Amino acid sequence: MSTQKIALVTGANKGLGFAICRQLGQKGFTVLLGARDTKRGQAAAAELVQQGLDVRFLHIDMEDPATFETACACIRQEFGGRLDVLVNNAGIALDWGYKADSVPMAMLRRTFETNFFGLIDLTQRLLPFILRSPAGRIVNQSSVLGSLSLHSNPEAGLEQMKAFAYNASKTALNAFTIHLAQALQDTAVKVNSAHPGDVQTDANKHGQITVTDGAKTAVRLAMLPADGPTGGCFHLDKSLPW
């Protein structure tokens, strides 16, 4: 089995996911760039290959579990069924402007299907591969907006950030992080949630930091040493409240 470290990043044809792929590639990983849109994913992978990085496109649609099994088959065939890092970066934010008293149920269900149910399905399928790694790492791209402690604090400054579907999906994702970390506590795998910061993306055009800086937290958690934390939520090296 190759000693080359393998990382899979979902939702990676642009923005944060693309920046995470670039940074992991620069650190010597073979990176599987997961994306829903084949044409855009292939173009993104080709751009990073032109920069001298070992990056390969992998078709993953968080709303199509059939693509999960195809991805597993690829990892099994190409890399001997081993995966060192999974960055669950793919996610959607549909409900800005809707609060808990008005969010349409279809929007709520679709948000959870992508940000929570699909993510867990994919992670469970890939877990046997991650357990084969001597230092498996799972990074769940979360948000400070998933913090119940901060949302319940009127001084936290989140009054205008009450998009219930998105926020609740990240709260649920944080619960998955805690439970999965505890389930794997007797293994070498570490599971953590990452808050990238107020990143300027297509969905947040007024963000305060670049995607390059926003990617740093996930990359740090993907490369934690053996004595690093598990079951936490972090921005860079700072622990955040649940």
- Give the β-pairing of 233-235 and 55-59: unpaired
The pair of three-digit structure tokens given for residue 132, joined into one six-digit string: 């084969």
Please list, residue by residue across 10-34, b when 16 or more beta carbons sit within 10 angstroms of its beta carbon and e when fewer do. Answer: bbbbbbbbbbbbbbbbeeebbbbbb
CA distance 227 to 44: 34
Q: Which of 57, 116, 129, 166 is the catalytic position? A: 166
> Does the active-site annotation cover 98?
no
CA distance 56 to 5: 14
Q: Do residues 170 and 89 make contact, with C-beta atoms less than 8 angstroms apart?
A: no
Catalytic residues: 166
